[in-house]
Each structure stands twice: as C-alpha cells, then as structure tokens.
Amino acid sequence: MRPLKSVVYKRIPRPDPALIERARKFGIADLHEGLGAVAGRMCLMSPRMQARQNGQGTVVGPAITAWNYPGDNLAIHCALEVAQAGDVLVLTNGGGHQGALWGDVACGFAKKQGLVGTVVEGAARDIDAIRELGFPIWSTAVSVEHPEKRGPAAVNVPLTVDGVLVEPGDVVCADTDGVLIIPRALLRHAVEGAEKRARAEVGIRARIEAGERPFDILGFREAAAEMGLEIKDCSWQDDA
C-alpha cells in the first residue's frame, strides 16, 4: 500500500473564457436545466451547501480543488498559493465540522487576489466578518472549531464534494439557490441549453402577461387528460 503523500499541482486545464462569460448571464437554475435531467442532477450539490452571503449574485469560475485532512486546513493555504484571479476554491475535509476550513483572514486574501468565491464541504467561520468583506462563500456547516495546519494535503486533484465529482478546471456556478459543477466538456452544452431555455421563458412570460395560463401554455391540460386526471368542482369532503 502506497503511503499518503501530500501534493500540489500548480496548473489546471482551463475552460474557454468566452463560455465562462456566457455562463455568467444565468443563474444556476437555468444552467442546471440546460445540462438536462440526468447530468443536471449529477452536477448539483445538495441543499446542505448553503450560501453564507445575502444577495451575493452569481459566481462562475474554474475550480481550484483542495483536499484537507479532517481537522486540518493546510490545503486551503496551498490552494491560495496557486489560485488565479477569477478562480473559485472548492474545499473539502469529507464534510465534517471538525476544524474550520475557511475564515475571514483567508477570505480577505482571496478577495485581494481576485478570486470570485469559495465552496466548502465542511465548516466556515467568521461569517459576520466575511459578510462585511462581501466575498461569496458557500458551506455545509458553520463552526469556529480550531483547525490544525499539519497536513496531509492535496491541491488540484479530483475530489468528491457533497456527492459531486469536481475535477480541477471544472466550472463552478453558484448563487443563492446553491452550487452546480459543470464539467468542462459539458460547458458549451449547458450554456446553449440555458440560452434556449431563457428565450423560451421570454415567450412564456409574454403570453402570461397577455392573459394565458401556464397550465395551457405548457400543455398540462392535454397531459392531464391523457393521464386520466380528474378535475372536480367540489371539495374533497363533499366527494367523500
């Protein structure tokens, strides 16, 4: 069995900047739907991953990944050494609350370096101070518990974060609704799907404004008839 060895990869494969800019026009709901039913679910983190800022807008950028030993956060400092402006840090210690992975000092440095957000499977702390900094973060927990800085650590390796595979250079899309990880190979597909969905919704909103009902616009009336759905003009008590 090979011993556990700490490693930091300085470089990541980077997504097309033009596609990143197109993705920034959408919330993660549009990009999630743009990926399709299967990939969209596979790439979406759970509701445990909570935005810790209010009204922070949408963050889109390449993932810099950092694996931290439980109770330790050495890897985040290694990640901050190699991250570039526009990147998003994606941190995990396996999801436990032991040892806060992220706090206001690291946050202030990340903002100064031009990073655009941090996603933490684990605990963040100094939330009020981070909110004052205006730096977007997401985490699965809040805890002030002391972190060691002894390692082992790994940076820019594939990770499973809140049940989602994250490879270095994958595109992190996050807003108040949650966190979506788009593989680089699927970025164009997700963006084009989101653009198509946005165009369709413009038409739907216009038809609603003109007096039509979503039940008819979306074809639910026909679908309801096909499935044998009964619509009864009475209460359930009257029908009992």
Looking up tokens 């990939």 gives 39
Annotated binding site: 103-106, 125-126
Q: Per DSSP, what are the bridge partners of residue 148?
A: 72
**Cis? peptide before 152, omega within 30° of 0:** yes
Feature table: binding site for Mg(2+): 126
Bridge-based pairing state of the strands 50-51 and 137-142: antiparallel
User: In Å, what is the CA distance from 226 to each residue of 156, 213, 232?
Assistant: 51, 19, 16
The 8-class DSSP code of residue 148 comes to B
Tell me the C-alpha distance between 50 and 60, whole Å: 16
Q: Annotated binding residues for substrate, as ranges?
A: 103-106, 125
Q: Are 171 and 184 in contact (CB under 8 A)?
A: yes
